[in-house]
């Protein structure tokens, strides 16, 4: 396996500057992804993009993301993020920038034959761009997580990961407002795609200037331990702090299998819920319920603010329960159940009409869905460190395949029935399946170990 060795001579502020640049990368990652969701009502009207086609575009983006999760996870583990990271952000930025050419004459001439339904060229071009976007965007996460692990000491990594993750919500909040401001300034739908893409390309030289000649990741012996040089200290090779990497327990193979099955079900159900509303929210509000562009984009930003609040509150709740004496595993189960109940409010949305109550339920579901993700991350950390990269990549790939298949199916359903009812019911109830898997399948012996650790 690999070890990491960081040579930091930039002082104690340097790793936090790196984390700020990672936040920016995460924000750009999500802005590139969400630009299409915000502009879909316009593209549907101008280029005959029906819901079935939109579902296919989103579905194949997810399939590509699943492939990229495994591929770039292996590549980043092998070569480190120093050069892989700029490659992936350049790739997804170019894919986002290329999306702006969907309506151009040369795309129509190249990708549409006589007799094809109107908008076929735009659909095919979007499909190509979104597949490329999915493959390269998936590479962001292993590169970013490896960087945080390399530049921060163990006690600071939780904060570093929080800074990194917050960029996703920030990007999703900004995009609707950014596109609305651009339109008021006279820009067309193409502007956000090429401007955000260019911003990603500007990030690349910033990365190289910041990293310089530092070794973010160095392949060492297969059986070597993980080495991290303390930030702000200039130490020699013999003074590196060593953190042993534990091996997968060989006497509990069935427990590992049960953990993997549980986590696969949990993350698949969470991804199904999150990705449906992430992709279809603009269409649901503007095209289905008739909200104006500005109102839709304001509500979309509010949705992601509610989601971010839920993500924070889930961590606060779990800490409070543990502080009051509840065991770690029990606190997770209680928290997961509470946020599953919040997410279930989405299943009520089709039955309350169009108004304040619908928006309140939508925002409640947003807080619930994203609030469930920290529980999954904490559970996933109980997989062995030695193969965590590969195993977590496989879990992510499985989740994206399930969610993408769901996107394609629901796109066809929405176009055929003119209703989002089934999609919203699935959003609300999918995490219930994850909760049942957690309560039934998670190995009891692992819980006993957790309790023993708490007592000690």
Average pLDDT over residues 76-104: 92
Which CATH number do you get for residue 431? 1.20.1250.20
Q: How far is the C-alpha of 98 from the C-alpha of 104, rounded, in Å?
A: 11
Residues 227 and 345 in one domain: no
Tokens representing 360 are 């309140």
Q: Is residue 213 part of a domain?
A: yes
Give the CB-side neighbour count of residue 364, counting CA atoms within 13 A.
18
Q: How far is the C-alpha of 441 from the C-alpha of 451, rounded, in Å?
A: 18
Instruction: Give residue 341's pLDDT band: very low, low, confident or very high (50, 70, 90).
Output: very high
Determine contact, residues 256/383, Cβ cutoff 8 Å.
yes
- Identify the domain boundary among 223, 244, 265: 244
Q: How far is the C-alpha of 51 from the C-alpha of 410, rounded, in Å?
A: 8
Mean pLDDT computed over every residue of the chain: 83
Residues 162 and 270 in one domain: no
Q: Which residue has the tokens 């999150």?
A: 274
Q: How far is the C-alpha of 347 from the C-alpha of 330, rounded, in Å?
A: 27
Determine contact, residues 320/332, Cβ cutoff 8 Å.
no
Residues 93 and 197 in one domain: yes
Q: How far is the C-alpha of 8 from the C-alpha of 63, rounded, in Å?
A: 38
**Coil, strand or helix at 326:** coil
Choose the weakest-confidence range: 33-37, 317-321, 441-445. 441-445
Task: Name the β-bridge partners of 281.
Answer: none
Question: For 363-419, what is each residue's pLDDT tens digit?
Answer: 999 999 988 888 887 777 677 555 655 677 788 899 999 999 999 999 999 999 999
**Residue 450, pLDDT above cutoff 60:** no
Between 218 and 190, the more confident residue is 190
pLDDT for 212? 75
Tokens representing 64 are 């590509």
Instruction: Give residue 73's pLDDT band: very low, low, confident or very high (50, 70, 90).
Output: confident
Q: Is residue 455 part of a domain?
A: no
Average pLDDT over residues 256-273: 92
Mean pLDDT: which of 159-173, 193-207, 310-324 is highest?
A: 193-207
Between 284 and 326, the more confident residue is 284
Residues 186 and 327 in one domain: no
- Identify the domain boundary among 244, 262, 289: 244
Residues 217 and 250 in one domain: no
Q: Is residue 456 part of a domain?
A: no
* DSSP per position, 31-55: HHHHHHHHHHHHHHHHHT--HHHHH
pLDDT for 200? 95
Question: For 362-371, what is each residue's pLDDT tens digit?
Answer: 999 999 998 8
H or E element that contains 90: helix 81-99
Question: For 236-246, what is each residue's pLDDT tens digit?
Answer: 333 333 333 33
Structural domain harbouring 368:
246-450
pLDDT for 255? 79
pTM of the model: 0.79
Q: How far is the C-alpha of 456 from the C-alpha of 454, rounded, in Å?
A: 5
Average pLDDT over residues 281-298: 92
Residues 359 and 253 in one domain: yes
pLDDT for 215? 60
- Identify the domain boundary among 204, 223, 244: 244
Q: How far is the C-alpha of 76 from the C-alpha of 338, rounded, in Å?
A: 36
Question: For 42-60, what is each residue's pLDDT tens digit?
Answer: 888 888 888 999 999 999 9
Q: Is residue 170 part of a domain?
A: yes
Residues 316 and 345 in one domain: yes
**Residue 230, pLDDT above cutoff 80:** no
Residues 202 and 250 in one domain: no
Instruction: Give residue 445's pLDDT band: very low, low, confident or very high (50, 70, 90).
Output: low
How crowded is residue 373: how many other Cβ atoms within 10 Å of its Cβ?
20
Domains in the chain: how many in total?
2
**Residue 124, pLDDT above cutoff 50:** yes
Residues 206 and 174 in one domain: yes
Length in residues, the chain = 456
């Amino acid at each position: 396996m690999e070890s990491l060795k960081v040579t930091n001579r930039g002082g104690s502020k340097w790793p936090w500057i790196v984390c700020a640049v990672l936040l920016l990368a995460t924000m750009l990652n999500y802005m590139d992804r969400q630009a299409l969701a915000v502009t879909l009502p316009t593209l549907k009207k101008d280029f005959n993009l029906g819901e079935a086609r939109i579902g296919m575009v989103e579905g194949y983006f997810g399939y590509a993301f699943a492939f990229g999760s495994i591929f770039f996870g292996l590549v980043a583990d092998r070569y480190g993020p120093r050069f892989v990271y700029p490659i992936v952000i350049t790739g997804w930025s170019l894919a986002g920038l290329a999306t702006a050419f969907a309506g151009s004459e040369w795309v129509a001439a190249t990708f549409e034959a006589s007799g094809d339904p109107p908008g076929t060229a735009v659909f095919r071009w979007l499909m190509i761009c979104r597949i490329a976007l999915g493959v390269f965007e998936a590479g962001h996460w292993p590169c970013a997580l490896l960087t945080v692990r390399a530049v921060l000491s163990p006690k600071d990594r939780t904060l570093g990961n929080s800074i990194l993750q917050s960029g996703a919500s920030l990007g999703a909040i900004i995009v609707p407002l950014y596109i609305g401001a651009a339109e008021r300034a006279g820009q067309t739908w193409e502007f956000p795609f090429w401007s955000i893409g260019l911003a990603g390309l500007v990030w690349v030289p910033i990365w190289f200037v910041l990293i310089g000649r530092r070794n973010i990741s160095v392949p060492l012996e297969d059986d070597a331990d993980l080495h991290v040089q303390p930030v702000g200290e200039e130490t020699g090779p013999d003074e590196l702090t060593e953190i042993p990497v534990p091996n997968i327990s060989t006497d509990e193979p069935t427990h590992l299998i049960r953990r993997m099955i549980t986590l696969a079900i949990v993350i698949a159900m969470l991804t199904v819920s999150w990705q449906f509303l992430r992709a279809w929210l603009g269409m649901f509000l503007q095209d289905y319920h008739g909200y104006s562009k500005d109102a839709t984009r304001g509500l979309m930003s509010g949705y992601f603010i509610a989601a971010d609040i839920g993500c924070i509150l889930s961590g606060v709740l779990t800490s409070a329960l543990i502080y009051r004496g509840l065991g770690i595993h029990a606190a997770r189960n209680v928290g997961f159940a509470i946020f599953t109940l919040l997410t279930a409010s989405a299943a009520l949305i089709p039955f309350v009409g169009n108004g304040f109550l619908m928006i309140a339920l939508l925002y409640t579901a947003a807080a619930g869905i994203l609030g469930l993700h920290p529980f999954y991350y904490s559970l996933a950390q109980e997989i062995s460190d030695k193969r965590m990269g590969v195993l977590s990549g496989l879990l992510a790939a499985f989740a994206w395949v399930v969610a993408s298949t769901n996107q394609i199916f629901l796109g066809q359903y929405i176009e055929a029935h003119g209703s989002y009812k089934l999609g919203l019911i699935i959003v609300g109830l999918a995490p219930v399946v994850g909760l049942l898997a957690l309560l039934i399948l998670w190995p009891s012996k692992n819980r006993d170990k957790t309790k023993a650790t708490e007592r000690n």
